[in-house]
């Protein structure tokens, strides 16, 4: 019988003998989803994200209430009230970090995937956010779940329906070949049911987070159901959290397993089968080449190799390389890496659905260091890490065959890029906006963490209060305090918020910023421009181009345009790159300069330094 992509992927994951019955059950799940209503996408080849799109990352309870004045308003209610007043169209997407009942890790230790944590609000509160013309992104935490969940309790009690839902191994299990993202032991003992010996369970990320066993197809089918419920609840992007660790096989690294890619391809096949208006985003904080493999990895079968995988991947190398450029004054590694990104649309072939990069600098997690390894000289990179520590950053470690090594800087991105001793709030904001000029100029969907958008400083007491380093960038400030500081022209928040509005507003007006419009990153400039990052985007459908130049240093810098370059890719060769009068441009310290032109005529410009002509 002809099984199509779904049947072929089930056979790859679970074998031919089981595939037919599993496919029948999967079709039953998909049929129920279709009969329950739901919107289909338009032409899949059409871009689902445009130049006007930007994504805001936020917790559901991002803003706290004044002590003694809670008034019963939910966290999502306060977020709605803030966004209704402050967003003003700057962001078109809202990524709500995990909002389910949870037991640890600020939501990433999920207890029940079908409920909203009362601390955040309700499904109705989430639905209300869409009335602000916001598309929603949900987290899909599928590698692991809370050990305090009913699922896990039933597993320990050896209930038939949960017996093989989590991964158990003997206490003596040799996991030396397993790639570890943390330093704690891989296996955690739990008291067995009915007085039995302790059960040792695979816990990749913490003792409170037990890994699901996807070699059991019942686990996969249940998460397909949850994925489809997310779409009915309004998710337009689903972020596959920690997906690289999903499939375990003894004797293997248990990272980027072929069957992990097979599961992602199956989720994509479900989306395509139902023609859902949904983008799958993979979260894989690993070296760049491994990261982009989730656009589509070969599985050893030509029919499966050609199947698409994620619609979108994070550009994980961007945060550490941009931080390196700002702290060292050397944008060379950032330029060299950015030049390896696709110059044109990220398409598998003509007529296929587009694939996007999610570009970001800060998030609820720290700044991953692993993606930058090999892209920066180790000695120079370590010097920047030490400088970041002097500016208040903390370092988290992971286990490796060489011992514990640093894998993440935990910090407020703003506090490290623009420390308080840099100068007044306006100058500090200018430095912070300059690095975001890089973020907003690159092809893809730009994503901004709530604390970056509102100019939050490091929550220095957070790690001691909550007991983990990432708390330094996870404060839940009181809404009224944030509002007061945003109104104060002397505050860092005021200048950052205003600068974001200008950058995002300018970007929304120019079709050359569309994620599928080609880009070209300029080579390293001559002496005097070491801190410069420059690229050109275009042409838009209207024939316009945008030249984006950022000075990521505290001194003036000279940018020189290259001459005629027959080696440049089309269509840049035809344009002659930039108008003659822009062949040399002096940028002020921390200046972000964008110039929009067509055939030598200047249409508009933006500079983050007020008053410049």
Residues labelled as active-site residues? 241
pLDDT at 197: 84
What is the residue whose two structure tokens read 């949900």? 138
What is the residue whose two structure tokens read 């074998």? 15
Instruction: State whether 569 and 500 are in the same domain.
Output: yes
Domain boundary at 298, 314, 330, which? 314
d(C-alpha 187, C-alpha 168), whole Å: 8
Instruction: State whether 324 and 235 are in the same domain.
Output: no
Give the 3-state secondary structure of residue 162. Answer: coil
Instruction: State whether 485 and 509 are in the same domain.
Output: yes
Instruction: State whether 279 and 352 are in the same domain.
Output: no
Q: Which long-range contacts (CB under 8 A, 24 or more apart) does 1-6 make?
A: 5/265, 5/269, 5/272, 5/273, 5/307, 6/266, 6/269, 6/270, 6/273
d(C-alpha 116, C-alpha 29), whole Å: 23
Instruction: State whether 346 and 291 are in the same domain.
Output: no
What domain range includes position 5? 1-37+221-314
Q: Is residue 31 part of a domain?
A: yes
Q: Are 579 and 420 in contact (CB under 8 A)?
A: no
pLDDT at 401: 72
Q: Is residue 17 part of a domain?
A: yes
How sure is the predictor about 289, in pLDDT bands with cuts at 50, 70 and 90? Answer: confident
Mean pLDDT for the chain overall: 89
pTM recorded for the entire structure: 0.94
pLDDT at 347: 45
Q: Is residue 470 part of a domain?
A: yes
Q: Using one digit for the tens of pLDDT, what is the confidence trace for 406-465?
A: 889 999 999 999 999 999 999 999 999 999 999 999 999 999 999 999 999 999 999 999
Q: Does residue 568 register a pLDDT over 80?
A: no
In angstroms and rounded to an integer, the radius of gyration of the C-alpha atoms of the chain is 24
Closest CA to 220 of 71, 48, 6: 6
Q: Is residue 123 part of a domain?
A: no
Instruction: State whether 271 and 381 are in the same domain.
Output: no
Give the 3-state secondary structure of residue 438. Answer: helix
d(C-alpha 244, C-alpha 264), whole Å: 10
Instruction: State whether 582 and 495 are in the same domain.
Output: yes
Q: Using one digit for the tens of pLDDT, what is the confidence trace for 180-227?
A: 888 889 999 999 766 678 999 999 999 999 999 999 999 999 999 999
Instruction: State whether 350 and 478 are in the same domain.
Output: yes
What residues contact residue 436 under an 8 Å CB cut-off, 6+ apart? 361, 448, 452, 499, 500, 503, 592
Instruction: State whether 307 and 333 are in the same domain.
Output: no
pLDDT at 286: 85
Q: How many CB atoms lie within 10 A of CB 398?
A: 16
Instruction: State whether 278 and 357 are in the same domain.
Output: no
Q: Is residue 280 part of a domain?
A: yes
Least confident of 43-47, 145-149, 432-436, 587-591: 43-47
Instruction: State whether 431 and 552 are in the same domain.
Output: yes
What is the number of domains present in the chain?
2
Closest CA to 555 of 502, 591, 520, 585: 591
Q: Is residue 102 part of a domain?
A: no
Q: Using one digit for the tens of pLDDT, what is the confidence trace for 126-181?
A: 999 999 999 999 999 999 999 999 999 999 999 999 999 999 999 999 999 999 88
Q: Is residue 116 part of a domain?
A: no
pLDDT at 348: 46
Q: Is residue 594 part of a domain?
A: yes
pLDDT at 561: 74
What is the residue whose two structure tokens read 């970056």? 452
Beta bridge partners of 550: 533, 592
Instruction: State whether 295 and 383 are in the same domain.
Output: no
């Amino acid at each position: 019988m002809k099984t199509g992509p779904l049947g072929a992927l089930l056979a790859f994951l679970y074998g031919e003998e089981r595939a037919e019955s599993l496919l029948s059950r999967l079709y039953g799940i998909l049929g129920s989803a279709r009969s329950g209503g739901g919107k289909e996408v338009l032409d899949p080849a059409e871009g689902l994200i445009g130049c006007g799109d930007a994504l805001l990352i936020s917790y559901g309870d991002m803003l706290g209430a004044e002590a003694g004045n809670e008034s019963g308003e939910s966290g999502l209610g306060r977020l709605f009230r803030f966004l209704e007043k402050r967003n003003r169209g700057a962001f078109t997407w809202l990524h709500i970090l995990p909002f389910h009942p949870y037991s640890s890790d600020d939501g990433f230790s999920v207890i029940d995937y079908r409920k909203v944590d009362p601390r955040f609000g309700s499904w109705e509160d989430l639905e209300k956010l869409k009335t602000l013309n916001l598309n929603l992104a949900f987290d899909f935490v599928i590698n692991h779940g809370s050990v305090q969940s009913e699922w896990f309790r039933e597993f320990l009690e050896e209930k038939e329906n949960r017996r093989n839902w989590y991964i158990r191994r003997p206490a003596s299990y040799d996991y030396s070949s397993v790639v570890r993202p943390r330093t704690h032991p891989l296996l955690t003992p739990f008291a067995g049911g009915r007085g039995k010996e302790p059960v040792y369970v695979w816990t990749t990320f913490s003792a409170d987070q037990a890994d699901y066993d996807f070699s059991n197809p019942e686990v996969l089918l249940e998460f397909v159901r949850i994925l489809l419920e997310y779409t009915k609840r309004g998710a337009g992007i689903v972020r596959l959290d920690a997906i690289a660790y999903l499939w375990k096989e003894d004797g293997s690294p248990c990272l980027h397993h072929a069957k992990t890619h097979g599961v992602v391809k199956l989720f994509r096949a479900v989306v395509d089968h139902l023609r859902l208006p949904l983008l799958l985003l993979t979260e894989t904080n690993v070296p760049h080449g491994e990261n982009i493999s989730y656009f589509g990895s070969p599985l050893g079968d030509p029919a499966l190799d050609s199947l698409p995988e994620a619609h979108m991947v994070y550009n994980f190398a961007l945060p550490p390389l941009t931080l390196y450029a700002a702290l060292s004054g050397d944008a060379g590694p950032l330029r060299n890496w950015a030049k390896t990104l696709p110059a044109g649309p990220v398409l598998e072939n003509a007529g296929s659905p587009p694939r996007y990069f999610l570009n970001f600098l800060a998030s609820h997690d720290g700044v991953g260091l692993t993606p930058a390894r090999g892209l920066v000289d180790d000695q120079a990179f370590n010097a920047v890490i030490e400088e970041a520590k002097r500016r208040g950053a903390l370092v988290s470690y992971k286990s490796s065959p060489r011992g514990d090594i640093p894998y993440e800087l935990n910090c407020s991105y703003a506090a490290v890029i623009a420390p308080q001793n840099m100068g007044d709030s306006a100058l500090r904001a200018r430095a912070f906006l300059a690095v975001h000029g890089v973020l907003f100029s690159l092809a893809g969907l730009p994503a901004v963490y709530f604390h970056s958008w509102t100019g939050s400083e490091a929550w220095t007491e957070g790690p001691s209060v909550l007991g983990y380093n990432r708390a330094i960038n996870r404060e839940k400030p009181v809404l009224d305090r944030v509002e007061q500081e945003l109104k104060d022209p002397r505050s860092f928040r005021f200048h950052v918020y205003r600068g974001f509005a200008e950058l995002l507003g300018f970007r929304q007006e120019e079709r050359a910023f569309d994620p599928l419009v080609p880009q070209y990153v300029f080579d390293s400039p001559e002496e005097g421009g070491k801190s410069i990052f420059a690229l050109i985007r275009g042409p838009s459908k209207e024939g316009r181009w945008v030249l984006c130049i950022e000075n990521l240093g505290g001194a003036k810098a000279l940018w020189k345009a290259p001459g005629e370059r027959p080696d440049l890719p089309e269509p840049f060769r035809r344009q002659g790159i930039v108008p003659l009068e822009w062949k040399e441009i002096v940028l002020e310290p921390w200046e972000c300069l964008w110039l929009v032109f067509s055939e030598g005529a200047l249409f508009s410009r933006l500079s983050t330094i007020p008053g410049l002509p």
